[in-house]
Amino acid sequence: MQVATAQAPPPTPTSSGHPKGLYVLFATEMWERFSYYGMRALLSLYMIKALLLNKETSSLIYGNYTSLVYLTPLLGGYVADRYWGNRRSILVGGLVMALGQFALFFSASFYEAGQTTVPTMQLALFFLGLGCLIFGNGFFKPNISSMVGTLYPAGDKRIDAAYTIFYMGINLGAFFSPLVCGTLGDTGNPADFKWGFLAAGIGMLIGSLTFELFKKKYVVTASGAPLGAKPERTVEHAPQVPVNTDSPVRSETIAQPAAKGFASKLPMLIGVFVVVYAAIAWLMNYDWVGALVFSAMIVMPMAVLSDSSLSSREREKIYVILILSFFVIFFWGAFEQAGASLTFFADEQTNRQLTSTYTVPASFFQSANALFIIIFAPIFAVLWGGLGRNEPSSPLKMSIGLMLLAVGYLIIAFGVKGVDANTKVSMFWLITMYLLHTFGELCLSPIGLALVNKLAPARFASLLMAVWFLATAAGNKLAGVLSGLYPAGPGEFKKAADAGIDLPAILNGTQQATAEVVAKLKELEIPYQWPSFLGYQIHSLYDFFMIFVVLSAAASLILFVIYRKLTKMMDEPVAPVA
């Protein structure tokens, strides 16, 4: 447990009424997101153009990577809460992530123009880089996010606004990174990917240095106590404070009893995890990463709820976090197509010709969402505050966010309806979709972060933040699975035509593929059948995008039906619906 100390003066509020520590965390996370999104803007393109992988395999790796990035915060949150504290975890995580970006730089340096096979060292460094990014993020992400709320006294109404400001800082880095890393790496020459990865690594080092230089002076509680120090255990008979308060009490400002019951139930939890893992792995055709993510999503909440020190009020609030986490999976499963299928769409079927001499790199479109957040986040913050007592509850805001996501996909679905696979559509459709998705994200993601901070018991602050990110992990894995359903397009048609195969005719059933042709298509890793999802066959991009319309809209409507019950469990007033 952590005990309060008071060695630093109280933080001086800035002119906006927020402590300066918020802006230290703002800058640190901004550079980390610069690193993450700069690399993500290049990841799928690098796998296809430099590692020579097909879209299905690239989508699988993309989904595995992005899901594990949000799974490892379970480990990082636990270590921080019990052993290292937030500060040490953030430093270690940042340095390991920088190492991962530099590994990707060296991987891309092994690429040679015209190569038909990928050097072993190029692949080894690629997977080493992804592994470092996965584990480093696990220690960095949950700890810096949970520290935002600890800057404020218990019950402070500025916390929602603080997370929106923090979220805007995240997206400042996310806006610049695809532009910088895309300009350096997405040039049309696969040999240049290395420069984009190098820029991402340098950005991560800057973020780590920013936190180290300013944490002691500014990252402190409202009373001046340093935040995120190494946890200290109280003696066995130390006085304990009640933990059934409805206010968000932070472990940095008050001593609480350590979690109970977890260790004694560990063998049972491990047994349950093994059974669930085996069952899900079998259902997912032995997709081990997917089974790990979805099993953790089931078992980890059981581990938290098994703690015997939880009061009934705390359990009720934790149930709200867990229920909303389920709906978050569907949001990120559709939203995170940005780094996979929507990148394929931007690269192959979007008219990116801006002038007669300049073509917009496909990676640049990943800046659209971040730019819109920078523009509209302050507006949403003012909107929520201006509504006063009529402000929608957090569950209702999230329901609205899911519906906006569905509308965004509906727009782009009609933009490609009836369009030939070899025809490129206007950038308008993609940009408009990203605008609607941004509105949806602002209704869901910063609201969710603030909700976890307000509802989580102090001794589970980082761990429940990690559980929230676990839902994001499951959503990202779902995004990779769904991206693998992307139908064959110009790239596959040309590759097949170069081998003398009329792929559109085979897919549409107007030409029968011989055993020799099927063998050749398998060798080239080109699909020879249209993909299908739950019996729904996907013949076109319209069919593909409609999957996300249906999933997002259904989740939104279900959440709308139950939001009043969830709001009551949170003890928030229910706003009337016009």
* pLDDT digit string, tens, across residues 358-405: 999 999 999 999 999 888 888 888 888 888 888 899 999 999 999 999
Query: Same domain, yes or no, for 284 and 324?
Result: no
Q: Is 515 exposed, middle or buried (0-12, 13-18, 19+ CB in 10 A)?
A: exposed
Question: Cβ contacts of residue 510 below 8 Å, gap of 6+?
Answer: none
Considering only residues 447 and 149, tell me which one the structure prediction assigns the higher pLDDT: 447
Of 269, 290, 308, which one is at a domain's C-terminal end? 308
- Residue 419's pLDDT band (boundaries 50, 70, 90)? confident
The secondary structure of residue 81, as a DSSP letter, is: I
Q: What are phi and psi of 482, to 5 degrees?
A: -70, -35
Of 252, 278, 308, which one is at a domain's C-terminal end? 308
Dist. CA 438–CA 451, nearest whole Å: 19
- pLDDT at position 487 is 92
pTM, 2 dp? 0.83
Residue 242 lies in a domain: no
Residue 64 lies in a domain: yes
Residue 168 lies in a domain: yes
Residue 400 lies in a domain: yes
**% residues pLDDT > 70 (the chain):** 89
Q: CA 333, 334, 336, 339 torsion: positive or negative?
A: positive
Residue 548 lies in a domain: yes
Query: Same domain, yes or no, for 265 and 209?
Result: no
Closest CA to 538 of 523, 548, 525: 548
Residue 495 lies in a domain: no
The amino acid present at 86, given as its one-letter code, is N
- pLDDT at position 71 is 83
298: its two tokens: 């089931």
- pLDDT at position 70 is 81
Dist. CA 226–CA 223, nearest whole Å: 9
Three-state SS string across 380-399, please? HHHHHHHCHHHCCCHHHHHH
Q: Is the pLDDT of residue 3 over 50?
A: no
- Residue 557's pLDDT band (boundaries 50, 70, 90)? very high
| Other Cβ atoms closer than 10 A to 33 | 24
Query: Same domain, yes or no, for 88 and 53?
Result: yes
Dist. CA 442–CA 109, nearest whole Å: 38
What is the mean pLDDT of the segment spanning 551-570?
95
What is the mean pLDDT of the segment spanning 542-564?
96
Query: Same domain, yes or no, for 277 and 349?
Result: no
Question: What confidence tens digit (pLDDT) does each residue in 292-314 have?
Answer: 989 988 888 888 888 878 888 88
Residue 101 lies in a domain: yes
What is the mean pLDDT of the segment spanning 39-64?
94
Q: Is the pLDDT of residue 445 over 90?
A: no
Of 219, 251, 282, which one is at a domain's C-terminal end? 219
Q: What is the CATH number of the domain that holds 195?
A: 1.20.1250.20
- pLDDT at position 402 is 97
- Residue 232's pLDDT band (boundaries 50, 70, 90)? low
**Cβ atoms of residues 162 and 255 within 8 Å:** no
Q: Is the pLDDT of residue 243 over 50?
A: no
- Residue 264's pLDDT band (boundaries 50, 70, 90)? low
Query: Same domain, yes or no, for 58 and 189?
Result: yes
Q: Is the pLDDT of residue 204 over 80?
A: yes
Q: Which of 140-144, 259-263, 485-489 has the lowest mean pLDDT?
A: 259-263
- Residue 116's pLDDT band (boundaries 50, 70, 90)? confident
Helical pair 461-483 and 312-335, crossing angle rounded to 10 deg: 30
CA–CA distance from 489 to each of 119, 200, 204, 353 (Å)? Answer: 28, 31, 36, 19
- pLDDT at position 240 is 38
Query: Same domain, yes or no, for 105 and 163?
Result: yes
Half-sphere exposure (Cβ direction) of 438: Cα atoms closer than 13 Å: 26
Number of compact structural domains in the chain: 3
Query: Same domain, yes or no, for 93 and 202?
Result: yes
Question: What confidence tens digit (pLDDT) does each residue in 348-370 have?
Answer: 999 999 888 899 999 999 999 99
- pLDDT at position 576 is 59
Query: Same domain, yes or no, for 284 and 388?
Result: no
What is the mean pLDDT of the segment spanning 538-558?
96
Considering only residues 216 and 478, tell me which one the structure prediction assigns the higher pLDDT: 478
**Cβ atoms of residues 408 and 437 within 8 Å:** yes
Query: Same domain, yes or no, for 83 and 53?
Result: yes
Three-state SS string across 123-156, please? HHHHHHHHHHHHHHHHHHHHHHHHHHHHCCCCCC
**Cβ atoms of residues 367 and 181 within 8 Å:** no
Query: Same domain, yes or no, for 323 and 293?
Result: no
| Other Cβ atoms closer than 10 A to 449 | 24
Considering only residues 353 and 155, tell me which one the structure prediction assigns the higher pLDDT: 353
Considering only residues 147 and 343, tell me which one the structure prediction assigns the higher pLDDT: 343
Query: Same domain, yes or no, for 338 and 418?
Result: yes
Half-sphere exposure (Cβ direction) of 363: Cα atoms closer than 13 Å: 26
Q: Is the pLDDT of residue 181 over 80?
A: yes
Range of the domain at 155: 17-219
Dist. CA 485–CA 406, nearest whole Å: 18
**Cβ atoms of residues 63 and 481 within 8 Å:** yes
Give me the helices (H) in 417-514, please. Answer: 427-455, 461-483, 490-498, 503-507
Question: Cβ contacts of residue 11 below 8 Å, gap of 6+?
Answer: 19, 20, 21, 151, 218, 220, 221, 222, 224
Residue 139 lies in a domain: yes
Query: Same domain, yes or no, for 177 and 267?
Result: no
Q: Is the pLDDT of residue 198 over 50?
A: yes
**% residues pLDDT > 90 (the chain):** 45
**Cβ atoms of residues 378 and 560 within 8 Å:** no
- pLDDT at position 242 is 36
- pLDDT at position 75 is 83
